[in-house]
Amino acid sequence: MEVKIGVQHAPREIVLESGQDAEEVERAVAEALAGKSQLLSLVDEHGRKVLVPADRLAYVEIGEPTTRRVGFSAL
């Protein structure tokens, strides 16, 4: 699923494809904003970790799960 993270004082947002489900991402964001952890930590589809300081989060947009498309047809 696509996750967009807005960071304060940064001109661009962070966009990543995460293998985590929406509930896991939402739980990680809620814990970071509640002060339980100082970093928002997410893992993308390639296993790379993205760490954002919780006090710099502007917004987090959680997209819908994407399905893999196979083939060359235009939709």
At 16-25, the pLDDT tens digits run 999 889 999 9
Residue closest to 43 by CA, chosen among 63, 30, 24: 24
Asked if residue 69 is part of any domain, the answer here is no
Percentage of residues in the chain having pLDDT higher than 70:
88
Q: Tens of pLDDT along 12-51? A: 999 999 988 999 999 999 999 998 989 999 999 999 999 9
Does residue 52 form part of some domain?
yes
The per-residue pLDDT of the chain, averaged, comes to 89
For residue 74, being part of any structural domain is answered with no
Amino acid of residue 5:
I
**69 confidence band (pLDDT: 50, 70, 90):** low
- The reply to whether 67 falls in a domain is no
Beta strands in 1-75 (DSSP E): 2-7, 14-17, 39-43, 49-53, 57-62
Q: For residue 12, give its domain range.
A: 2-62
What's the structural domain count of the chain?
1
Reply yes or no on whether the pLDDT at 6 is more than 80: yes
